Amino acid sequence: MRVLSLNFRHALFAQESGEVPIFLLTITHPELVDPIRLTTDATERKSNDPLIYRTMSRGDEFIYAGVDITIPDEQDRSPPASKLTIANVTRDLIPLARSVSTPPSVMIEAVLASDLSTVEMSWPALDMVNLTYDASFLQFDLTMDALVTEPYPSGTFSPADFPGLF
């Protein structure tokens, strides 16, 4: 069970709130020199020409892009799954997405606009799979490796498996 701050819960569940939840995405891959950092909120202007907005969190710069994300679900019998849609404004993302042969990893973090240095929620190990795209957007399915959700230890000590214990 996740423990969320009162301010974050209020921002999520209130009909109107002065707090803005911001989702930060860090995309990593062995073929990338530096991770790609994206944000769902245009917190501050970075430059005028070209017009670029960013969010600074814990000393890292996250570039604002038209990102739409579905928070990963938490089902008992299946690994967490999510969807990520990125606006393809510059048309540079499709060749980049086509060039990798293994799925990139995505870490999703949630922060509040009033406190960008405190991570409220985090999903650290999601893989980008099932790319669909057109001229205006790219859409990825994000999934967690099923091995992460396997119970440990794999066996259970039950009378059927270990009758000598009972």
pLDDT in tens, 142-160: 887 756 556 666 667 778 7
Using CA atoms, how far apart are residues 39 and 65, in angstroms rounded to an integer?
A: 7
Residue 66: both structure tokens together: 């038209």
Mean pLDDT check: name the lowest of 70-74, 80-84, 94-98, 117-121: 94-98
Residue 35 counted as domain residue: yes
Using CA atoms, how far apart are residues 137 and 63, in angstroms rounded to an integer?
A: 17
Q: Rounded mean pLDDT of the chain?
A: 82
Residue 165 counted as domain residue: no
Using CA atoms, how far apart are residues 132 and 86, in angstroms rounded to an integer?
A: 11
Residue 107 counted as domain residue: yes
Residue 66 counted as domain residue: yes
Residue 164 counted as domain residue: no
Residue 4 vs residues 8, 16, 82, 115: alpha-carbon distances, Å: 6, 19, 20, 14
Residue 111 counted as domain residue: yes
24 versus 131: the higher-pLDDT residue is 24
Residue 97 counted as domain residue: yes
Residue 13 counted as domain residue: yes
For residue 52, give its domain range: 6-145
Q: Is the confidence at residue 50, as pLDDT, over 70?
A: yes
- pTM, two decimals, is 0.78
| Count of structural domains within the chain | 1
